[in-house]
Amino acid sequence: VEFQALIRNPLLVHNHVSSICSTWGRDHFKTFDGDVYQFPGMCEYSLISNCHDSYQLFSVHIRRAEKDGNPTISYLAVTINELLFHISKTWVTVNYDKVPLPYYKAGVQVENNAAYIKFQSKVGFTVMWNREDAVMVEIDTDFANRTCGLCGDFNGVPVYNEFIHNGRKISPIEFGNKHKAHHPNDDCEDPYEEDLVEVATVSDSCKKFLTFCENMFLSESWSSCAKLIHPKVYIQACVKDMCGCSNNTNDFCVCSTLSEFSRQCSHAGGQPPNWRKTQFCAKECPYNMVYEESGSPCMDTCTHQDTSSLCEDHKTDGCFCPSGTVFDDISERGCIPQSECQCKHDKIYNSGEVYRQDQEEWYGMWDCITLETPATCAIEQGSYFTTFDGKTYTFHGDCYYTLAKVESKDRASPKFTLLAQLVPCAHQQFDTCLKSLKILLNNDKNNVLSFTSDGVVQQNMQTVTLPYQSGDIDIFHASSFHILLQTRFGLQIQIQHVPLMQVYISLEQSYRSKTRGLCGNFNMILSDEMKTPQGIVEGTAATFSNSWKANFMCSDIEERLDDPCSLSLENEMYAKHWCALLVSPDSAFAQCRSVVDPEMFYKRCIYSTCSCEKSEACLCAVFSSYARACAEKGVLLTNWRENVCDTYAKSCPASQTFSYTHQRCQLTCRSLSSEQQSCTSDFLPVDGCSCAEGLYLNENGLCVPVEKCSCFYNGNYIKPGTSINIRDDHW
């Protein structure tokens, strides 16, 4: 055999030929060092491995088979460290477990496109297989002179040391047989090793094909490639293919080597012609894609629209989208104009549709804008605080404390102060309860709204009936568990009183840096959240919280480091059993785990359930807090009360129904009166009991249709069907 090295052009920056090994056609191989030889083995052979290192990091094996008289590669076996990948035309396994594609794990990417299966490893090599006869391996130069296998030793010198053994030139068959992969009970036979090295001359019987092959490879259309890749070895391979074919009209006889020459031209930085015709070596592409001999493998898609502009991979053949289009990888509609791309987030959105989450609004092509949404301060389970800026801390108080002292955002808006009463729960050493919330409008002690843990609402010590409206303030039942306070000056408060009192205070962004107290500064800076009234930033939650006592006669509270679960094994077992629902992959909470991390809520749940006198009440309060956090992120949890906390769901008054997603502000007949219609439904869905859609709660506590509602006028209820005179008008 005459061993012909490929001509390399060192001036071409993008010439990758010297780091590429390939096999194609019936039995052709090209080593990294440029030798082209034929090896007809049909067993499993090592294509490449880093055999000269003390530890074998990787290896690539191939096995050929005959199909319809033509050779094909039946599978690849790639080993990296402890991972074994078996790659066939239709499936991929990792350590014998089938995996879906694309596969991205442990520094390995396995992708499947219209033309190739591509295996890429961060170790430093890439394998591409056209699912038929051709495999290409590209390797980093770090492995120079460190490889073995049919791809050679990658030392940059042709022939040496692949085909020289103990000073003797060996045949390609002997060289190939050295790299057979031996498996138990494998009876595959090696091809016969000749005693003499045959000379690579074209036999007389095959010379009739020489002119045909030369005319193809030396034609003008291939001239740019011939300047980069010496065509002689490919002409010889073409002749052998044609000579070995029983049916010379078979495309495979000539197409395989011509395809390889085209690929090598691309690797060398050239531009092969689009030589395929409908009746000659044609390739079919899915959808409306077109086959090109040399295109960017980084195809723009609807989800990655700038991939090609950032691509560093060299060009290759394959199926590509026509110019001006991108591939629709969302609805799999083929190649479409970029303007027609959809987007996907849980479901598919057409261009122009809007998806909103948290403080961002997502449009059809993910053109994002930041929304001026309110920030929320929360007091949960009586001792867990979350500030407007998102800082969390724990404090077990015993006094009235200033949650937020808010300055006016403009001349028209009032100042106001929010006070929370924290007290130790009855008979409990570790338990703290939120007892009441007070709102001082314009910091006037004679203008106070108060909410208590039993659901009572008072103004200036006088109990008021809901719905209630006064000036810029509306107060109403969002459900039997929740009371909503809405204002027209940017404050909204959600008061939960079942099973425990929990409070969520929301302020518009216009109040940034205009508030102080346990809810923080609302200045988007976490480092100064714990600032005292004197402007000192404290380091502990207890010192910070004590500084905001509304009554300085109250004693300061010290940090608690005790574990309440240590006092009762029974409570600890109960807490761990039920709190585990928050982190269980099979519970109703599981669908939210990727959006809201349940770990913090799980720890709260264990502590609160162990410390609480009514363990189930505290457990359910934490579950409710997590459900609300999920609702803030757009995930509405339902059915989480089915196995626990169902006492509250089953205790609805007659004619009312339980729901996890109440979001109506007008739930009573009284709320329908004209002077009470100023509330809005722009609050998070809440759970609890209320009248079903289309029904309203009358003054007797029954759900009735609107036509059976009493009217409310001038402080009095007027029965349905009754008429009255108002300012000379008869109603």
User: Is the pLDDT reported for residue 235 higher than 70?
Assistant: yes
Gap between the Cα atoms of 524 and 534, Å rounded: 20
Q: Give residue for tokens 């104009």.
A: 337
User: Is the pLDDT reported for residue 201 higher than 60?
Assistant: no
Gap between the Cα atoms of 730 and 383, Å rounded: 56
Please report the DSSP string for 223-291 in residue order: HHHHTTS--HHHHHHHHHHHHH-S-TT-THHHHHHHHHHHHHHHHTT-------BTTBS----STT-EE
> What would the pLDDT profile of 166-180 be if each residue is shown by its tens digit?
788 888 999 999 999
Helix axes 569-579, 615-632, angle to 10 degrees: 30
pLDDT of residue 114: 83
What is the architecture of the domain spanning 375-546? 3-Layer(aba) Sandwich (3.40)
Gap between the Cα atoms of 597 and 601, Å rounded: 8
Going 246 to 252 to 255 to 256, the CA torsion angle's sign is: negative
User: Which element (helix H / strand E) includes 363?
Assistant: strand 360-363
CB atoms within 10 A of CB 625: 24
> What would the pLDDT profile of 388-421 be if each residue is shown by its tens digit?
999 999 999 999 999 999 998 888 889 999 999 9
- Residue bearing the bigger pLDDT, 202 or 164: 164
* pLDDT > 90: percent of the chain: 54
Phi-psi region of 68 (alpha: psi -120 to 50; beta: other; left: phi over 0): left
User: Is the pLDDT reported for residue 354 higher than 60?
Assistant: yes
CATH topology assigned to domain 657-718: Laminin (2.10.25)
pLDDT of residue 326: 92
Mean pLDDT rounded to a whole number for the chain: 87
pLDDT of residue 368: 66
* Distance set, CA 275 to CA 269, 287, 408, 656 (Å): 17, 21, 76, 75
Q: Which residues pair with 468 in a beta bridge?
A: 475
pTM (2 decimals)?
0.60
Of 306-320, 411-425, 576-590, the one with minimum mean pLDDT is: 306-320
The whole-number average pLDDT for the span 233-238 is: 91
pLDDT of residue 648: 87
User: Which element (helix H / strand E) includes 575?
Assistant: helix 569-579
- Token pair of 29 as six digits: 């191989």
Q: Which residues pair with 421 in a beta bridge?
A: 400, 436
The whole-number average pLDDT for the span 49-54 is: 80
pLDDT of residue 586: 93
User: Is the pLDDT reported for residue 571 higher than 50?
Assistant: yes
Contact 709, 722 (CB under 8 A): no
The whole-number average pLDDT for the span 608-614 is: 90
pLDDT of residue 349: 81
Across 252-256, 445-449, 539-543, the highest mean pLDDT is recorded for 539-543
- Residue bearing the bigger pLDDT, 553 or 353: 553
pLDDT of residue 388: 97
Gap between the Cα atoms of 522 and 540, Å rounded: 19
Please report the DSSP string for 313-347 in residue order: SPPEEEEEPPTT-EEETTT--EEE-GGG--EEESE
Q: Which residues pair with 716 in a beta bridge?
A: 713
User: Is the pLDDT reported for residue 603 higher than 70?
Assistant: yes
User: Is the pLDDT reported for residue 360 higher than 70?
Assistant: no
Gap between the Cα atoms of 570 and 210, Å rounded: 90
User: Is the pLDDT reported for residue 68 higher than 50?
Assistant: yes
User: Is the pLDDT reported for residue 665 higher than 90?
Assistant: no
